[in-house]
Every structure is written in C-alpha cells, then in structure tokens.
Amino acid sequence: MARPPKTTATQRRLESIAAAAEYADLSTRTIRRYISQGLLTGYRAGPRLIKVDLNEVDEKILRPIPTAGDAA
C-alpha cells in the first residue's frame, strides 16, 4: 500500500495579482506596491505573469483588529 508523501509545510496557494487583490479586497496596484516594498513575495510564472501566495497575504497583510475583549 503506497503512502502519501509527507508534507511539513503548508502548500502554496498561488494566484494571480488580480485574484489576490480580489481575495483581500484591495486594488491590484496595492498588491504590486506590497511586492515592490517587500511585504509580499511575487513569483514569476513565465515572462509576464506574476503570482502571489494567498497564505502569505493571510499572514502578512490581513491582521485582526484588537478589541476591548482581547485585553483580558
């Protein structure tokens, strides 16, 4: 019986800049700006296509807002 390969890291969820912008409710210019500032990693998939990892968007861009209940 074959075992599935072990994966220790979370798999990348690569999407286009437009799809990442829609996912995070941002503009494509903002996603491109975050890539140029080093806040997000862009992955080139061909001569012109750039992909962004949605896991990285979740970790680095989208943050919870602290509330009064979080202080306890």
Cα separation, 57 vs 38, in Å, equals 12
User: Does any domain span residue 44?
Assistant: yes
Domain count, the chain: 1
Whose CA is closest to 55, among 5, 9, 18, 7?
A: 9
User: Does any domain span residue 8?
Assistant: no
Whole-number pLDDT of residue 24: 96
Give pTM, 2 decimals: 0.75
Q: What pLDDT, in 10s, does the model give residues 10-56?
A: 799 999 999 999 999 999 999 999 999 999 999 999 999 999 999 99
Domain membership of residue 34 as a residue range: 14-63
User: Does any domain span residue 53?
Assistant: yes
User: Does any domain span residue 7?
Assistant: no
